[in-house]
Structure 1
Amino acid sequence: MTMPPSSERVILGLTGSIGMGKSTVAAMFADAGVPVFDADATVHRLQGPGGALVAAIEARFPGTTGAQGIDRAALGASVLGDDQAMRALEAIVHPAVRAERESFLARHRDAPLVVFDIPLLFETGGDREVDRVVVVSASAPVQRERVLARPGMTPARFDAIYSRQLPDTEKRARADFVIPTDVSLDETRAAVMRVIACVQAGQGR
């Protein structure tokens, strides 16, 4: 069962499409003293050596694990472009991540503000479980350049990942706050601090 937000705590949902700079913004929130739940890092840990999800994923997707846990390239090849396989993987991963998130909330019960860093916040309906949504955004050329610079990334793989995400324009339209990352780091950090100040003042949009 999802723990409801307390009257003294605001949950910010932080999201953004691939390559938009969400991790950089999440680190800025953390640097400002805001507890951040990193969904991606949680998944990596659960899928790493001895991770709680390794056996279940190997059973459903044979040959995708090894001594180091999940072989992300092999798993990605097994699910990208296959909606049924992706749903099967999500059915394994999402409940475990939810449980970790509830533990995070319990640990930070007294924090007035926390951040859920969730890449697919809108796509999974997670926006219904937060109080405000922050979308991290950059121009399409900057996004593509960043993603294609990643090791092992190809235009075809980028397009496959991108096709599973809501368009940036729609995310921005549904956001309470938009933080740009195709500007200087100082400008992005200033935007983060403005969001924190607005939330603390009980404002939005």
Structure 2
Amino acid sequence: MTQQDRRRIAAGLAERLSYAEIARRLDRPTTTITREVARNGGPAGYRPQQAQEATIRRARRGTPAPVRAVASPGGTTEQELVDMAVGAGMPRTAARVHHDLMLSRDGRRTAAELARRLSVSPASVSVAVNYLVQQGYARRERDPRRRRDIYVIDNDAWYHSVLISRRQTLETVRATMTLAETFGLDSPVGQRLSRTAAFLERVSLDMIESADRWRPLLS
């Protein structure tokens, strides 16, 4: 991603455009925009110059230490689970933090614990946790005695992540319908886009109905 791309992302955020609309204007996948913003301060704190400099620093540092290749009884390793999450669109450090929280005894870690266990910087942990919180995979709690944040993953995390995913899908639906209307609902392009929006909306509604129905399994 170029510095000009990052300036256009910042401009889109300032206009309160959805990630899907920004991605369309840059001709990039929505997940690319989501990861870029999450890694670099979130929607309110995104700055193109700082994002460019942070990318250069990450490239110089190289990739983080690998996850242990510990096999489960079914033969799947921890590394494979992280790779699956990355393949689904989650930033790698966020996937590693999420995985480590899942494997902790009580689903809780401090930033210092995560940085030490994963051999990454506290800043990288902060960016990763911001992404996980935004996506509903984890939450922050404050330890008033030690004045530090504790990052938590609990049974309801998956339910909340479904709710957030649904909201993001509905943003895509709205953006797609707006574009369909721009082309004209009677035009071939408008019809294609409106059918896409209808499909995504129906899937989104089914998703939340299913999540509500099966939520007791998490209790």
* TM-score for both structures, normalised by structure 2: 0.26
Q: Which has the higher helix share?
A: 2
Larger fraction in strand: 1
Structure with the bigger RCO (C-alpha within 8 Å, sep 6+) is 1
The normalised TM-score by structure 1 is: 0.27
Say which one has the larger Rg: 2
